[in-house]
A and B are shown apart, each in its own frame.
Chain A
């Protein structure tokens, strides 16, 4: 039936390579967070983003895999908990792939520690009737928990190959490749819907044994420390402070100092200016490249010297937290607060992911249960969650002002998010879903995976953000060239200078902020370094910028996820709230004679 088998059957025809009109398609299916993406990487040699929490794979990833001289297509699907009954969007996607006749072989990936749950899915897959293989992944962790599974017995009973694997270490992968050739339609009778659970339970009881557990104690103790409020909240404070030290101090100050003040100011920009002055005869073109709004002196400097170092450190620290399994545990603490905002604790995942990139996080809102929750989450992401690039510039500027300034900014932003969430929960029709969430095991992250993930994300940042920085710079150059920037600055002066109490020039920064918040924030960073902003002005300007819609890419993603009407509504609401908050904050701070 499958590729390898076909290749074995007709060895004489073409022993080296078999090609078909449509390559055979193999789908990886399984519960969330069982290691499908790691296995995908092992089988294809391609890297798919891997994390220790459910919902990392939101879109289908496709790769090629060579099996017995035949090129097959391997599809990595989002994690599912069921394929029958009330299904989430991800589950519908997975089921469509299995049903449409596009899939020739299914590899079900199971977390060996949760055999019963996995078998429930096996039972449902059997009903779909595709040839399949069962991979019992994380067999090492199962052993640590004292679980022994009779794989041979299970294979005989199910009538399909059952292979034990440890995908992260590459163990069992060769066996799995071989087994794909022996994939078979499960031989047991597919029971009626309600019987999946009973069948899974009976099978698990029959083929799983428990031994004395060996070394899971440390994991358990750590889990308790992180989970219980008395120890968990101080740990959260330490984690946040550690992130501040890594990203805000090391990234935003040390690294940016080295790259911006050292590399760019001393070598790259003077070098570029000299080169352009020598090689380009037209003044306008020289300005375009190295002038006040020059592609190199402004666009590249902002993107590479100011934002990149912080984004890279953030991605690294964030990758560590992701893989440790810590982030989902924050849902326990935040569930009550999120419930008053029409969400539940699960919303902590897109919110924290938003600190990495709001655009990606907007896509991750799909893991939330109802349309209402997804809409509120998208709104809150657009409103209050600063992405890594922006966090960078915030920490860079306010780190130099005072800690109180930083607290004011985050306090105001959090308060606004809560207020808007509270109101949205009451204004938007629909229900929230109940909080039921699986906590992934705590693990010591692997440096290799963190580094790969960081590099992948940095590359993505370079591809996504740098062009926008350059387009934005070109736009500013044009505006300034044709005198429109002055017109715009004049038009915005009553708000910018009058109500917000900022220098006139800040108008240009807000124009940049419309393209990308971090780009605008980078502009503020330059203004603040040049001494054009006092403490209050810095806080007010950054608060407004933080509350803006993150960037054009995020706006496009909002349209994709929620439709044009909702996206425009969010854009309008967010802009009004951002300016309103800034005006109020300025009035209050000035009225109280606060100086940071």
Chain B
């Protein structure tokens, strides 16, 4: 399996699936800083809990709710 098969945007992950953050897109300057401060940094393990009406995921032991655009910027290597 090539690496690209295993990396997904957080917004495309199914509820219940887990993975490790590979990187956070820097297309919005503020976003990456805010996510980093909340612990969403490369190496952090994430589990998607819910996709609708908003994306909710677990990062370490922090439960985070984000809008779809933010979830799209988080690149995850799926387990």
Given A332-B56, A335-B65: A436 and B41 within 8 A (CB)? no
Closest 10 interchain pairs by CB?
A81-B37, A113-B61, A435-B67, A197-B41, A439-B63, A117-B39, A82-B37, A332-B54, A85-B33, A201-B43
Closest to B52 in A: A229
B63 touches A434 (CB 8 A): no
- Asked if residues A335 and B54 are in contact (CB atoms below 8 Å), the reply is yes
Among A117, A197, A201, A435, point to the contact of B66 (Cβ < 8 A).
Answer: A435
**29 intermolecular pairs with C-beta atoms under 8 Å apart:** A82-B36, A85-B37, A86-B30, A86-B34, A113-B60, A114-B39, A116-B39, A116-B60, A198-B41, A201-B44, A228-B50, A332-B50, A333-B54, A335-B53, A335-B65, A336-B54, A339-B67, A345-B65, A345-B67, A434-B28, A434-B34, A434-B70, A435-B66, A435-B67, A436-B64, A436-B67, A437-B64, A439-B56, A439-B64
Please tell me the number of chain A residues within 8 Å of chain B, measured between CB atoms. 40
Would you call A459 an interface residue if the criterion is a C-beta within 8 Å of the partner chain's C-beta atoms? no
B7 to chain A, nearest CB (A): 19
CB distance from B75 to the nearest CB of A (A): 15
A224 to B48, CA, bound (A): 12
B53 touches A223 (CB 8 A): no
Report the separation of the CA atoms of residues A40 and B52 in the bound assembly, to the nearest whole angstrom: 38
Binding site for B on A (CB under 8 A): 81-82, 85-86, 113-117, 120, 142, 145, 147, 197-198, 200-201, 223-224, 227-229, 329, 331-333, 335-336, 339, 344-345, 369, 433-439, 441
Interface hub of A197, A329, A441 (most chain B Cβ within 10 A)? A197
Bound complex: CA A339 to CA B33 (Å): 21
Instruction: Name the residue on B nearest A85 (C-beta).
Output: B33
Total inter-chain residue pairs, C-beta < 8 Å? 110
Q: Are A117 and B56 in contact (CB under 8 A)?
A: no
Whether B6 is near chain A, meaning CB under 8 Å from some CB there, is no
Which A residues touch B36, using CB under 8 A? 82, 120, 197
Whole-angstrom CA separation of A223 from B66 in the bound complex: 16
Question: What is the chain B residue whose CB lies nearest that of A331?
Answer: B65
| Chain B: CB-nearest residue to A91 | B37
User: Could you tell me if B65 and A332 are in contact, using CB atoms closer than 8 angstroms?
Assistant: yes
Indicate which residue in A115, A331, A434 contacts B69 across the interface (CB closer than 8 Å): A434
Residue B14 interfacial (CB < 8 Å): no
Q: Which of A81, A200, A336, A339 contacts B34 (CB 8 A)?
A: A81
Output the least CB separation between B62 and chain A (Å). 5
- Complex Cα distance, B63 from A113, in Å, reads 11
Q: How far is the CA of A86 from the CA of B28 in the complex (A)?
A: 12
Query: Nearest A residue to B66 by beta-carbon distance?
Result: A436
Contact B37 A120 (CB under 8 A): yes
Q: A82-B33, A227-B56, A332-B56 are in contact. Are A145 and B61 (CB under 8 A)?
A: yes
Cα-based distance from A336 to B65 in the complex (angstroms): 12
Q: Is the CB of B66 within 8 A of A434?
A: yes
Cβ of B53 and Cβ of A434 under 8 Å apart? no
Which residue of chain B has the shortest Cβ distance to A119 in the bound complex?
B39
- Expressed in whole angstroms, the Cα–Cα distance for A329 and B42 within the complex equals 26
CA distance A437 to B38 in the complex (A): 9
- Is there an interface contact between A114 and B60, defined as CB atoms closer than 8 Å? yes
CA gap between A333 and B33 in the complex, in Å: 25
Docked pose: A197 CA to B35 CA in angstroms = 11
Chain B residue nearest to A440 (CB atoms) is B63
User: Measured between alpha carbons, how far is A572 from B57 in the docked complex, in Å?
Assistant: 43
Verify B35–A117 contact, CB threshold 8 A: no
B60 to chain A, nearest CB (A): 6
- Quick check: A438 and B44 within 8 Å, CB to CB? no
Taking a contact as CB atoms closer than 8 A, the residue among B49, B53, B70 that contacts A436 in the complex is B70
User: Could you tell me the distance in whole angstroms from the C-beta of B63 to the nearest C-beta in chain A?
Assistant: 4
CA distance A229 to B51 in the complex (A): 11
Most chain A C-beta atoms within 10 Å of own C-beta, residue among B60, B61, B70: B61
Q: Which residues of chain B have C-beta atoms less than 8 A from A336's C-beta? A: 53-54
